[in-house]
């Protein structure tokens, strides 16, 4: 396939996908191109968007690449799609998620001790939304489950990796961590994938792989 045709194909793949595509996924679809060449094609596409001041960009997020709209067009998209429902996380969910993101892998009791409230329901909600996962069991009495964030968490907040989280030492208390997590969700909501718009391990805790589905 000629280089120009490959660029068209890559652009089309990114446009129709509602999830970030890995270089390997794009390579398998395009064929006869190395991942390094696919990356170069994406970089050239992005450079063209920027040079011509287009309303779309391609960003690297959650281990893949996704086409998004630029932040400044968000108000116009909101006017066009007034009825589009965007489900927001509740404050308790954001607070719990902030703790897991920065303290992972972390047990439910450790989360409870930091929030001073029962988190059973919130943890189940975050599991249902695929924002967190059971990462194993802590080598401690009772062998409690430990929780960590998922790739979906990175996608939801527009992060390339956990390294993109603001450094925890920059925040004097847990409330600051909650605020930055809430701000990140709001910012992520401004980058709307074109198809969606058109259609409408840092923790040090010792753990080992989960071997049972029994509830704690």
CATH number assigned to the domain comprising residue 138:
1.10.10.10
Q: Which of 14, 39, 69 is the last residue of a domain?
A: 69
Distance of CA 12 to the CA centre of its chain: 22
The predicted-structure confidence for 2-27, as pLDDT tens digits, reads as follows: 566 889 999 999 999 888 999 999 99
DSSP 210: -
Number of domains in the chain: 2
d(CA 212, CA 209): 9
| 114 in the same domain as 37 | no
The predicted-structure confidence for 33-75, as pLDDT tens digits, reads as follows: 888 999 999 999 999 999 999 999 998 988 899 998 888 888 8
Contact partners, residue 96, CB within 8 Å, separation at least 6: 111, 115, 119, 122, 123, 126
Structure tokens at 63: 């281990």
28, 31, 32, 34 alpha-carbon torsion, rounded to 10°: -40
DSSP 61: E
Residue 100 near residue 149, CB atoms below 8 Å: yes
| 9 in the same domain as 103 | no
Confidence of residue 216 (pLDDT cuts 50, 70, 90): very low
What domain range is 173 assigned to?
A: 91-188+200-208
| 133 in the same domain as 46 | no
Most confident of 2-6, 125-129, 159-163: 125-129
Sheet strands side by side (includes 132-138) = 106-107, 145-149, 132-138, 207-208
CB atoms within 10 A of CB 75: 9
């Amino acid at each position: 396939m000629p280089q120009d045709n490959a660029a068209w194909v890559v652009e089309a793949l990114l446009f129709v996908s509602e999830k970030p595509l890995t270089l390997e996924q794009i390579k398998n679809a395009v064929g006869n191109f190395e991942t390094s060449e696919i990356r170069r094609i994406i970089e050239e596409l992005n450079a063209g968007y920027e040079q011509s001041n287009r309303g779309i960009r391609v960003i690297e997020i959650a281990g893949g690449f996704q086409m998004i709209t630029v932040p400044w067009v968000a108000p116009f998209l909101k006017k066009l799609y007034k009825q589009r429902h965007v489900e927001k996380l509740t404050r308790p969910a954001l607070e719990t998620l902030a703790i897991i993101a920065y303290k992972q892998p972390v047990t439910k009791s450790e989360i409870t001790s930091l929030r001073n409230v029962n988190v059973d329901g919130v943890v189940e909600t975050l599991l249902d939304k695929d924002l967190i996962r059971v990462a194993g069991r802590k080598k401690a009495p009772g062998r409690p489950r430990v929780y960590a964030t998922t790739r979906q968490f990175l996608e939801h907040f527009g992060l390339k990796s956990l390294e993109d989280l603001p450094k925890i030492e920059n925040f004097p208390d847990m409330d600051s961590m909650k605020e930055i997590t809430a701000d990140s969700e709001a910012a992520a909501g401004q980058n709307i994938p074109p198809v969606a718009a058109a259609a409408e391990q840092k923790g040090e805790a010792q753990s080992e792989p989960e071997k049972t589905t029994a509830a704690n």
